[in-house]
Amino acid sequence: MTVLTTTLFISGDKDLLHTLPNLQAYVYGGAFQMEVPNLKGVVTLEGGHFIHQQQAAEFNDHVIKFFKEHPL
């Protein structure tokens, strides 16, 4: 499946992404970009799965910047 929507991917450094074998390589190694061709950024913040709560201010800064650069 290909995701065509302009996308920003944000994860926490303690989320499963960083513990499951090969998943980190998939996201950061280019394969993820092939399935999400309009991927505009991959951001890793300090925290777990609920990064939007754990690092709310920094998360919001990234999202606001993304929407300013890529309006709907």
Mean pLDDT for the chain?
93
How far from 30 is each of 11, 15, 24, 65, CA to CA, in Å? 16, 19, 10, 23
Q: Is 64 within a domain?
A: yes
**Number of separate domains in the chain:** 1
- Residue 27: inside a domain, yes or no? yes
Is 49 a member of any domain? Answer: yes
Q: Does residue 2 belong to any structural domain of this protein?
A: no
The Cα–Cα gap between 22 and 65 comes to 30
User: Residue 70 pLDDT more than 90?
Assistant: yes
Question: Is the predicted pLDDT of residue 61 greater than 90, yes or no?
Answer: yes
Residue 1 lies in a domain: no
Residue 39 counted as domain residue: yes
- Here the tokens at position 11 are 């994860």
For Cα atoms 52, 58, 61, give the angle at the middle one, nearest 5 degrees.
Answer: 100
pLDDT average, residue stretch 6-13:
95
**pTM of structure:** 0.87
* Cα–Cα distance measured from residue 52 to residue 70, given in angstroms and rounded to the nearest whole number: 20
